[in-house]
Structure 1
Amino acid sequence: MAAYQPGEQPKPGERLIKLNTNENPYPPSPRVRKAIARAAGAALRLYPAPRADQFIEAASRLYGVPPAMILAGNGSDELLAMIFRATLDAGDRVAYPVPTYSLYDTLAAIQGARVIAIPLEADFAVPIEKLARARAKLTIVCNPNSPSGTFTPVRSLATLAKALDKRLLVIDEAYVDFAADSALKLLRRHRNVVILRSLSKSFSLAGMRLGLCLAHPEVIDALLKVKDSYNLNRLALAAGAEALRDVAWMRRNVERVKRVREDSARRLRQMGFEVPPSDANFVLARMPGRDLGPLAAELKRRGILVRHFATPLLRDALRISIGTPAEMNALFRALKESLEAGPSSGRRKR
C-alpha cells in the first residue's frame, strides 16, 4: 500500500516561501490567540470535552445546523478516515473523480475497498452521471476540487445525491469559503449527504488540526462509534470555537486571497500557462505536454516551494498556493527567470 505523501515542509533553518500546501498567508483572528492563552492554564491537566461541545455549538450557530448533526475532528482528514472506517468493508466500492485529493486512495487501501476512479472531463468538470452509475457504497466529491480548484454547481451535486438514493455522498468542502456557494443546503433535503469542512484554509488554523462533519444524526451516531475518545486537545478546541465566532475576520482574509488569486491566474496565463478557473486558495498552472517537475525543483532552488505531482495526469502542472502579494511577486520573478533559463526547467514529454 502506498502511503499518503503530504506536501514538503521546510527543514529547520531553511528560508523558503511556502506555496505548496494551501495554507492561508494571513494569521488567524487575534481573538483566537487570546482564547489559546486563556486555555493554556491549569485546566490543561484535565481531558478535553470528548464531544467538543463549545466548538460544535459555535459551528451550529454559524452554519444553522443542530449540534446533533455535527461532529468535530482532528482536521477533516480524521473525519474522512472515520467515514471510510465506518462505511467500507473489504471489497466495497468507493467512487470519486480523479485527479483529486490523494488521501482518498490511501484510506480506501486501508479498508481494502475497491476504488472506482472516474476521470474528470477535459475542463475538469465532475462526471455526475458516471459517478451515479458506479453505484458505489461511498461516493466522494471534493468541491472545490484539489488540485484543479474547479467548482461543481450545487444543483449537480443535488442530482447526484438523489441518484445515489441511500448511498452516502461525501462533499469535501475544505476550500468552499473561497467559493461563492456551498452544498450545506442539501443537508435539509438529502439524508445521504455528508459535508466536510476544514479550519485549516480559510480560518488560518492548519497548525491546530480542526475539521467538522455535518450530516444526518444517524450518520453522526455511526461515526461516533469509531471516534477516538478525546480526539481534539483543549487548545485546539478553544481556538476553533473563537475562530468560528469571529467569522468576519476570516471573510476579510478570504477576500484578500481571492483578489490575489485572480491576479495570479491572469499573470500565469500571460506567461503561457493554462489555468482553469479556481474557487479555492490556489491555482493549477499547466503546460500540456511538458513535465514541470524540473521547474518545481528550480523554483525550490530559488527559495520557493510549489506542488508538483509525479503522476501521469498531473506531470504537466504545478499547484500554486496563493500567498501574500509580496510572495506572489517573488514567485513570478523566479518563474520568469526559470523559464528564460531554458529547457532544463521543464522537459517535453516524448
Structure 2
Amino acid sequence: MSSYFRPSVDAMSGYVPGEQPPPNVKVIKLNTNENPYLPSPKAVAVLQDFAPELLRRYPNPMAQTFCEAASAVLGIPSDWILAGNGSDDLLTMLMRACSEPGRAVVYPMPTYVLYRTLAEIQGAETIEVPYPEDFTLPVEALIEAQGAITFIACPNSPSGTAIPLELLDKLAANLSGVLVIDEAYVDFAETTALPLVKKYENVIVLRTLSKGYSLAGLRFGFGVANPVLLEGLIKVKDSYNVDAIACAVATAAIQDVEYKNASAQKVKVERDRVTTALSKLGFEVLPSQANFILATVPPQHNAEAIYQNLKQQGIFVRYFKQPGLDNKLRITIGTPDENSALLDEVSLFLRK
C-alpha cells in the first residue's frame, strides 16, 4: 500500500505527551509540570464575564491587547512581542520560517523533545549535542554546529537546570542562525535572558502562561524578539492563531504579577523541601530552577519500579526509558499535601 505522506513524516515518530489520567479519575498528577495552584482570580473573572458577542467575530490577528499588556509588564515595546497558541505555536513558526533540508536544527540533549519532532516534520537535519552529567551548556560544540536554529531551554527540561546569562551571551554572539531561548519555566528561576533580545537581532526568547500563570489548559504563549526577526514569523503564522477568549484571559493574567509571583514562591518553597527530603532518602537531585526536579534514584533501586509503584498508588511522575535518564524520575512540584504523599510512598517503597 502506498503512503499518503511525505517520506520525512513516514519516518518520524510523533511527540508523546505525558500520561493523562482518564476523566473523573482522581490522581496526584506530578508528571506534566502543571502549576498546582489555580490561576489569578482576575483572569478567572474575565473568563466568567466574557461577552458572547465577541465569539461571533474573528479575534485581533496579532493579539494586540495582550501585547500591550505584556509590554507594560516587561518594559519591552509591544511590536517586539508575538503571541501564539502556546509557546509550541512559536516553535512551529520558527521551524516553518527557518528550517528545511540542508538547514540544520541544533540543540543540547536531553531536552524538550518537541524540538526534534518539529525538525523532522520539516525534513531538517538535527544535530543533538550531548549535555554532560552536570548539564552545563556545551557552548563550543553548539557554536561549531552553526545551526539555522539553535534551541536552548532555560531552565532546561527534564533537568530543571538554568544556564548562566554569560554563556547564552557567548552563544548568541557566535551564531549565524537564530538562537531560541525557551523560558517556559522562567517564573520559577532567578534570571532571564530577555536582555539578550535587545543586544542581538538573532535572539528570540519564548514564554508561556502554562506554568507560572497556571493556564496550561488555555494554550497561550509569546515570543520576544527584534521586529526584524518577528517579521518572518508573522509571515508563516496561522492567520488567527490566538482566540478571543485566550487573549482576554491571558491579558488579565499577565497583569496580575503579584498573584503569579506568590504562586511561584509557594512552588519554590516546596521544591526545596522535596529536594531535601529525597536527598535524605539517597536520591541525587540536580539543583532546579523550574517547577520540577530530576532525581537519580539510589544505586540499589530501579527508577522504573518506583515509577510503576507510585502509579499504582495514584501518583503520576515522569519516567523516561532512554539512556542517561533511565535511572531518574522527573517530579513536578505539587501542593504540600501532594508532595508529602509522594514522599511517604517513596519512603515506604524503599524500606520494602
Q: Distance in 2 between matches of 1:186 and 1:2?
A: 34
Match of 1:240 in 2: 250
> Which residue, out of 195, 218, 224, partners 1:208?
218
1:177 aligned onto 2:177: no
Query: SS where residue 204 of structure 1 aligns?
Result: coil
Q: Distance in 2 between matches of 1:38 and 1:17?
A: 31
1:219 aligned onto 2:235: no
Are 1:39 and 1:234, in contact at CA under 8 Å, matched by a contact in 2? no
Are 2:282 and 2:298, in contact at CA under 8 Å, matched by a contact in 1? no
Unaligned stretches of 5+ residues in structure 2? 1-11
List structure 1 runs of 4+ shifted beyond 6 angstroms. Answer: none
Query: SS where residue 126 of structure 2 aligns?
Result: strand
* Aligned-residue offset at 1:133: 1.0
Instruction: Tell me how large the CA RMSD over aligned residues is.
Output: 1.1
Q: Distance in 1 between matches of 2:351 and 2:236?
A: 53
1:114 aligned onto 2:109: no
* Aligned-residue offset at 1:293: 1.7
Read off the aligned partner of 1:250 and give its amino acid letter. K
1:50 aligned onto 2:74: no
1:128 aligned onto 2:139: yes
* Aligned-residue offset at 1:14: 1.3
Identity of aligned residues (%): 48
* Aligned-residue offset at 1:39: 1.9
Query: SS where residue 174 of structure 2 aligns?
Result: helix
1:334 aligned onto 2:345: yes
Q: 1:180-199, aligned counterparts within 5 Å?
A: 180-199=190-209
* 1:1-53 CA-partner distances (Å, limit 9, x unpaired): 11101011110121100000001011111000111122242221111111101
Q: Distance in 2 between matches of 1:330 and 1:91?
A: 50
Query: SS where residue 310 of structure 2 aligns?
Result: helix
Q: Distance in 2 between matches of 1:42 and 1:111?
A: 39
Match of 1:4 in 2: 15
Match of 1:168 in 2: 178
Match of 1:285 in 2: 295
Query: SS where residue 276 of structure 2 aligns?
Result: helix
Q: Distance in 2 between matches of 1:84 and 1:64?
A: 28
| Aligned residue pairs, count | 340
Q: TM-score, normalised by structure 2?
A: 0.94
Query: SS where residue 150 of structure 2 aligns?
Result: strand
* 1:116-171 CA-partner distances (Å, limit 9, x unpaired): 1111122111111111111111111000000000010011100110011x311000
Q: Which moved more, 1:16-25 or 1:224-233?
A: 224-233
Query: SS where residue 171 of structure 1 aligns?
Result: strand
Read off the aligned partner of 1:134 and give its amino acid letter. A
> Which residue, out of 92, 98, 101, partners 2:103?
92
Read off the aligned partner of 2:103 and give its amino acid letter. D
Q: Distance in 2 between matches of 1:114 and 1:230?
A: 30
